[in-house]
Amino acid sequence: MSFDKRKISALFDRWAADPSLQPDRGDVPFIAGLAALDALAPCPLDHILDLGSGVGRLSLACARSGAQVLGVDLSPVSIRKARERAESEGLDNAEFRTGSFADGDFIGCLPDDSFDKVLLVYSLHHLPDNGKKRTLSAIAKMVKRPARIVISDLMFFSDSMVIDCKTADDACYDSGDTDFPTFAADMIEWLRELGATIRIERLHPMVGLIVADFA
Ligand SMILES: C[S@@+](CC[C@H](N)C(=O)[O-])C[C@H]1O[C@@H](n2cnc3c(N)ncnc32)[C@H](O)[C@@H]1O
Protein backbone atom coordinates (compact mmCIF):
# COMPACT_ATOMS: atom_id res chain seq x y z
CA MET A 1 0.00 0.00 0.00
CA SER A 2 1.75 3.14 -1.16
CA PHE A 3 1.07 6.58 -2.54
CA ASP A 4 1.84 6.66 -6.26
CA LYS A 5 2.03 10.29 -7.30
CA ARG A 6 2.05 9.62 -11.04
CA LYS A 7 -0.92 7.26 -10.83
CA ILE A 8 -3.01 9.78 -8.84
CA SER A 9 -2.03 12.63 -11.12
CA ALA A 10 -2.98 10.63 -14.25
CA LEU A 11 -6.24 9.47 -12.66
CA PHE A 12 -7.30 13.01 -11.80
CA ASP A 13 -6.11 14.44 -15.11
CA ARG A 14 -8.65 12.10 -16.72
CA TRP A 15 -11.26 12.97 -14.09
CA ALA A 16 -10.81 16.71 -14.61
CA ALA A 17 -11.08 16.39 -18.38
CA ASP A 18 -14.49 14.68 -18.21
CA PRO A 19 -17.30 16.79 -16.73
CA SER A 20 -19.53 13.69 -16.46
CA LEU A 21 -17.20 12.34 -13.73
CA GLN A 22 -17.60 15.39 -11.45
CA PRO A 23 -19.72 14.77 -8.34
CA ASP A 24 -23.38 15.61 -8.70
CA ARG A 25 -25.60 17.25 -6.13
CA GLY A 26 -26.71 14.38 -3.85
CA ASP A 27 -23.51 12.31 -4.34
CA VAL A 28 -21.60 11.57 -1.14
CA PRO A 29 -18.43 13.47 -2.22
CA PHE A 30 -20.60 16.46 -3.15
CA ILE A 31 -22.30 16.38 0.26
CA ALA A 32 -18.89 15.98 1.94
CA GLY A 33 -17.77 19.16 0.17
CA LEU A 34 -20.84 21.11 1.30
CA ALA A 35 -20.37 19.95 4.90
CA ALA A 36 -16.72 21.05 4.74
CA LEU A 37 -17.64 24.48 3.37
CA ASP A 38 -20.20 24.89 6.10
CA ALA A 39 -17.59 24.04 8.76
CA LEU A 40 -14.99 26.29 7.13
CA ALA A 41 -17.41 29.26 6.98
CA PRO A 42 -15.26 31.24 4.52
CA CYS A 43 -15.32 35.01 4.87
CA PRO A 44 -13.44 37.97 3.37
CA LEU A 45 -10.58 38.14 5.90
CA ASP A 46 -9.70 34.44 5.56
CA HIS A 47 -6.60 33.02 3.91
CA ILE A 48 -7.59 29.54 2.83
CA LEU A 49 -5.41 26.69 1.61
CA ASP A 50 -7.34 24.02 -0.33
CA LEU A 51 -5.17 20.90 -0.55
CA GLY A 52 -6.22 18.59 -3.38
CA SER A 53 -8.35 21.33 -4.89
CA GLY A 54 -9.27 19.38 -8.04
CA VAL A 55 -11.02 21.57 -10.61
CA GLY A 56 -11.59 24.24 -7.96
CA ARG A 57 -15.13 23.39 -6.84
CA LEU A 58 -14.52 24.38 -3.20
CA SER A 59 -11.68 26.88 -3.70
CA LEU A 60 -13.94 28.91 -5.97
CA ALA A 61 -16.82 28.72 -3.52
CA CYS A 62 -14.46 30.15 -0.86
CA ALA A 63 -13.22 32.82 -3.26
CA ARG A 64 -16.81 33.87 -4.01
CA SER A 65 -17.16 34.64 -0.28
CA GLY A 66 -14.26 37.08 -0.64
CA ALA A 67 -11.54 34.92 0.99
CA GLN A 68 -8.00 34.73 -0.43
CA VAL A 69 -7.54 31.15 -1.62
CA LEU A 70 -4.65 28.99 -2.75
CA GLY A 71 -5.65 25.67 -4.32
CA VAL A 72 -2.99 22.99 -4.70
CA ASP A 73 -3.31 19.83 -6.73
CA LEU A 74 -1.13 17.12 -8.22
CA SER A 75 -3.08 17.07 -11.46
CA PRO A 76 -2.00 19.70 -14.01
CA VAL A 77 -5.29 19.32 -15.93
CA SER A 78 -7.28 20.01 -12.74
CA ILE A 79 -5.18 23.09 -12.04
CA ARG A 80 -5.66 24.36 -15.58
CA LYS A 81 -9.45 23.90 -15.32
CA ALA A 82 -9.55 25.61 -11.92
CA ARG A 83 -7.60 28.60 -13.28
CA GLU A 84 -9.92 28.84 -16.29
CA ARG A 85 -12.96 28.77 -14.03
CA ALA A 86 -11.53 31.46 -11.74
CA GLU A 87 -10.73 33.63 -14.74
CA SER A 88 -14.15 33.17 -16.31
CA GLU A 89 -15.76 34.29 -13.04
CA GLY A 90 -13.34 37.20 -12.63
CA LEU A 91 -12.10 35.84 -9.28
CA ASP A 92 -8.62 37.25 -8.82
CA ASN A 93 -8.53 36.14 -5.16
CA ALA A 94 -8.10 32.45 -6.10
CA GLU A 95 -4.66 31.16 -7.10
CA PHE A 96 -3.91 27.59 -8.17
CA ARG A 97 -0.59 25.73 -8.09
CA THR A 98 0.45 22.26 -9.16
CA GLY A 99 2.17 20.36 -6.35
CA SER A 100 1.90 17.53 -3.87
CA PHE A 101 0.98 18.21 -0.27
CA ALA A 102 2.75 14.92 0.51
CA ASP A 103 6.16 16.24 -0.58
CA GLY A 104 8.07 16.99 2.60
CA ASP A 105 8.97 20.51 1.62
CA PHE A 106 5.82 21.61 -0.23
CA ILE A 107 3.90 22.73 2.85
CA GLY A 108 7.16 23.59 4.61
CA CYS A 109 7.91 26.09 1.83
CA LEU A 110 4.66 27.98 2.30
CA PRO A 111 5.31 31.04 4.43
CA ASP A 112 4.49 30.40 8.09
CA ASP A 113 1.36 32.11 9.39
CA SER A 114 -0.01 32.83 5.91
CA PHE A 115 -3.11 30.59 6.15
CA ASP A 116 -5.69 30.37 8.88
CA LYS A 117 -8.04 27.83 7.29
CA VAL A 118 -7.13 24.61 5.49
CA LEU A 119 -9.47 22.41 3.52
CA LEU A 120 -8.87 18.74 2.65
CA VAL A 121 -11.90 17.29 0.87
CA TYR A 122 -11.58 13.78 -0.51
CA SER A 123 -7.83 14.22 -0.99
CA LEU A 124 -6.07 13.10 2.21
CA HIS A 125 -7.27 9.49 1.84
CA HIS A 126 -4.86 9.02 -1.09
CA LEU A 127 -2.00 8.93 1.41
CA PRO A 128 -1.26 5.97 3.68
CA ASP A 129 -1.27 6.58 7.44
CA ASN A 130 2.34 7.74 7.82
CA GLY A 131 1.92 10.23 4.94
CA LYS A 132 -1.28 11.59 6.46
CA LYS A 133 0.36 11.99 9.83
CA ARG A 134 3.37 13.84 8.34
CA THR A 135 1.11 16.09 6.24
CA LEU A 136 -1.15 17.01 9.17
CA SER A 137 1.87 17.78 11.29
CA ALA A 138 3.37 20.03 8.57
CA ILE A 139 0.04 21.87 8.19
CA ALA A 140 -0.33 22.35 11.96
CA LYS A 141 3.19 23.79 12.11
CA MET A 142 2.63 26.19 9.20
CA VAL A 143 -0.81 27.68 9.96
CA LYS A 144 -1.42 30.95 11.73
CA ARG A 145 -3.21 30.79 15.13
CA PRO A 146 -6.14 30.58 15.59
CA ALA A 147 -6.56 28.15 12.71
CA ARG A 148 -9.05 25.61 11.51
CA ILE A 149 -8.33 22.47 9.47
CA VAL A 150 -11.37 20.81 7.92
CA ILE A 151 -11.10 17.24 6.63
CA SER A 152 -14.11 15.73 4.88
CA ASP A 153 -13.15 12.37 3.50
CA LEU A 154 -13.28 8.60 3.45
CA MET A 155 -12.45 7.12 6.84
CA PHE A 156 -13.20 4.02 8.88
CA PHE A 157 -15.29 4.22 12.01
CA SER A 158 -15.01 0.64 13.23
CA ASP A 159 -12.73 -2.29 12.50
CA SER A 160 -15.69 -4.63 12.54
CA MET A 161 -17.42 -2.74 9.74
CA VAL A 162 -18.40 -4.80 6.70
CA ILE A 163 -18.09 -2.69 3.58
CA ASP A 164 -20.61 -3.82 1.00
CA CYS A 165 -20.37 -2.79 -2.65
CA LYS A 166 -23.13 -0.19 -2.42
CA THR A 167 -21.54 1.51 0.60
CA ALA A 168 -18.17 1.58 -1.18
CA ASP A 169 -19.69 2.81 -4.47
CA ASP A 170 -21.71 5.52 -2.78
CA ALA A 171 -18.62 6.75 -0.99
CA CYS A 172 -16.48 6.43 -4.19
CA TYR A 173 -14.06 4.09 -2.43
CA ASP A 174 -11.89 2.06 -4.80
CA SER A 175 -11.10 -0.64 -2.18
CA GLY A 176 -7.41 -0.09 -1.95
CA ASP A 177 -5.87 0.73 -5.32
CA THR A 178 -5.47 4.47 -4.79
CA ASP A 179 -7.62 4.98 -1.68
CA PHE A 180 -6.22 4.41 1.82
CA PRO A 181 -8.78 5.51 4.40
CA THR A 182 -7.59 5.72 8.00
CA PHE A 183 -9.52 5.14 11.20
CA ALA A 184 -11.22 8.36 12.26
CA ALA A 185 -10.04 7.68 15.82
CA ASP A 186 -6.38 7.63 14.69
CA MET A 187 -6.66 10.93 12.83
CA ILE A 188 -8.34 12.48 15.84
CA GLU A 189 -5.56 11.24 18.10
CA TRP A 190 -2.83 12.67 15.81
CA LEU A 191 -4.61 16.03 15.61
CA ARG A 192 -5.08 16.16 19.39
CA GLU A 193 -1.37 15.41 19.84
CA LEU A 194 -0.71 18.43 17.59
CA GLY A 195 -2.79 20.59 19.95
CA ALA A 196 -6.18 20.69 18.22
CA THR A 197 -9.67 20.62 19.65
CA ILE A 198 -11.80 18.26 17.55
CA ARG A 199 -15.35 17.98 16.36
CA ILE A 200 -16.31 14.96 14.26
CA GLU A 201 -19.46 14.19 12.34
CA ARG A 202 -20.29 10.99 10.49
CA LEU A 203 -21.72 11.89 7.07
CA HIS A 204 -21.96 8.34 5.69
CA PRO A 205 -20.90 4.89 7.03
CA MET A 206 -17.41 5.53 5.68
CA VAL A 207 -17.18 9.31 5.24
CA GLY A 208 -16.56 11.74 8.06
CA LEU A 209 -16.07 15.42 8.70
CA ILE A 210 -13.30 16.33 11.12
CA VAL A 211 -12.99 19.94 12.24
CA ALA A 212 -9.71 20.61 14.02
CA ASP A 213 -9.32 23.97 15.77
CA PHE A 214 -5.95 25.32 16.88
CA ALA A 215 -6.15 28.11 19.44
C1 LIG B 1 -11.63 13.40 -5.41
S2 LIG B 1 -10.69 14.82 -5.86
C3 LIG B 1 -11.41 16.06 -4.81
C4 LIG B 1 -11.22 17.44 -5.36
C5 LIG B 1 -11.80 18.56 -4.51
N6 LIG B 1 -11.25 18.58 -3.17
C7 LIG B 1 -13.31 18.46 -4.44
O8 LIG B 1 -13.83 18.01 -3.41
O9 LIG B 1 -13.96 18.80 -5.43
C10 LIG B 1 -9.12 14.53 -5.06
C11 LIG B 1 -8.05 15.50 -5.54
O12 LIG B 1 -6.91 15.38 -4.68
C13 LIG B 1 -5.75 15.48 -5.46
N14 LIG B 1 -4.64 14.92 -4.71
C15 LIG B 1 -4.54 13.65 -4.22
N16 LIG B 1 -3.38 13.52 -3.56
C17 LIG B 1 -2.74 14.72 -3.64
C18 LIG B 1 -1.49 15.21 -3.16
N19 LIG B 1 -0.65 14.45 -2.48
N20 LIG B 1 -1.15 16.50 -3.42
C21 LIG B 1 -2.00 17.30 -4.12
N22 LIG B 1 -3.19 16.89 -4.61
C23 LIG B 1 -3.55 15.61 -4.37
C24 LIG B 1 -6.10 14.75 -6.75
O25 LIG B 1 -5.25 15.09 -7.82
C26 LIG B 1 -7.56 15.17 -6.95
O27 LIG B 1 -7.66 16.30 -7.77
Query: Alpha-carbon distance 88 to 143, whole Å?
Result: 30
For residue 157, the model assigns a pLDDT of 94
pLDDT in tens, 28-77: 999 999 999 999 999 999 999 999 999 999 999 999 999 999 999 999 99
Q: What distance in angstroms lies between residue 109's CA and the mean position of ligand 1's atoms?
A: 19
- CATH code of 5-214, in short, is 3.40.50.150
Beta bridge pairs of residue 183: 156
Q: Given pLDDT bands bounded at 50, 70 and 90, which one contains residue 1? A: low
Instruction: Tell me the C-alpha to C-alpha distance, in Å, between residue 184 and each of 45, 59, 73, 155.
Output: 30, 24, 24, 6
Domain locations along the chain? 5-214
Instruction: Tell me the C-alpha to C-alpha distance, in Å, between residue 84 and each of 44, 90, 104, 197, 206.
Output: 22, 10, 29, 37, 33
Query: Alpha-carbon distance 194 to 186, whole Å?
Result: 13
CA dihedral 24, 25, 28, 33 (to 10 degrees): 100
Q: Whose CA is nearest to atom 9 of ligand 1?
A: 57
The DSSP-derived string for 31-56 is HHHHHHHHHH---TT-EEEEET-TTS
Q: Is the pLDDT of residue 197 over 70?
A: yes
156 three-class SS = strand
The predicted model scores a pTM of 0.97
Instruction: Please identify, by atom number, the ligand 1 atom nearest to the C-alpha of residue 135.
Output: 19
Query: Alpha-carbon distance 1 to 177, whole Å?
Result: 8
For residue 175, the model assigns a pLDDT of 73
Q: What is the mean pLDDT of residues 171-185?
A: 91
Q: What distance in angstroms lies between residue 171's CA and the mean position of ligand 1's atoms?
A: 15
